[in-house]
């Protein structure tokens, strides 16, 4: 994939600048295809911060410096290991790596998705919350990361605390992985769960 051209980045940034005031959250879902370049990510994060809009990042790659200043970043366990250059096998390893990521990126929180082991939220204050997996039976993990980012965005946009937002995202991910292929979770299902 080729990175966004300067002209393309300028156009996208201008569009975001026009729309950000109407937004309740900004989700940067980086698929590693060249749109979320370091420059664009930093421009988008600055615009969202100025508008007091929470920024949720679903990251890719090994260099998370371009996500600096985001509200929350949601790597999975192997992405966290790659981004920090650390072994992430135990809970202690994971927390140490998440704290290192917090400090190197100046994000407010790191929510590490851990597949069948649930999620771990590490906040700027170094408060650690381990959330048990909510899924009953994993059928397909397709879209689980997107579900986490979307539900975090929705909850943070509604001014929910980080821990409550993470719990809701964990519940949604637990539902979506029980289905084959790309799936959605309704508000009714979340409130019933």
| Tokens read off for 183 | 């799936």
58 neighbors 38 (Cβ within 8 angstroms): no
CA distance 189 to 99: 33
Specify the 3-state DSSP secondary structure of 76: strand
Question: Is residue 93 annotated as a catalytic residue, yes or no?
Answer: no
Q: What tokens were used for 23?
A: 């937004």
Whole-angstrom distance, CA of residue 74 vs CA of residue 29: 10
Supply φ then ψ for residue 171, to 5 degrees: -65, -40
The catalytically annotated residue of 108, 117, 140, 146 is 146
* CB 85, CB 70: distance < 8 Å: no
* Short-list 156, 151, 154, 158, CA closest to 175: 151
Q: Where are the beta strands (DSSP E) in 45-190?
A: 55-58, 72-73, 109-113, 119-123, 128-131
Q: Cα–Cα distance between 165 and 74 in angstroms, integer?
A: 12
Tell me which residues are annotated as active site. 146
């Amino acid at each position: 994939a080729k990175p966004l051209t300067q002209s393309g980045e300028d156009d996208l940034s201008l569009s975001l600048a026009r729309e950000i005031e109407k937004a309740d959250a900004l989700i940067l879902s980086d698929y590693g295809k060249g749109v979320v370049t370091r420059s664009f990510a930093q421009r988008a994060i600055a615009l969202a911060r100025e508008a007091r809009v929470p920024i949720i990042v679903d990251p890719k790659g090994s260099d998370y410096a371009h996500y600096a200043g985001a509200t929350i970043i949601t790597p999975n366990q192997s992405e966290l290991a790659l981004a920090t250059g650390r072994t992430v096998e135990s809970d202690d390893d994971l927390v140490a790596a998440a704290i290192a990521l917090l400090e190197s990126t100046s994000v407010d929180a790191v929510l590490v998705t851990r597949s069948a082991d649930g999620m771990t939220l590490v906040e700027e204050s170094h408060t650690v919350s381990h959330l048990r997996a909510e899924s009953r039976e994993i059928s397909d993990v397709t879209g689980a990361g997107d579900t986490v980012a979307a539900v975090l965005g929705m909850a943070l946009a509604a001014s929910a605390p980080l821990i409550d937002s993470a719990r809701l995202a964990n519940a949604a991910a637990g539902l979506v992985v029980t289905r084959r292929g790309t799936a959605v979770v309704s508000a009714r299902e979340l409130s019933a769960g």
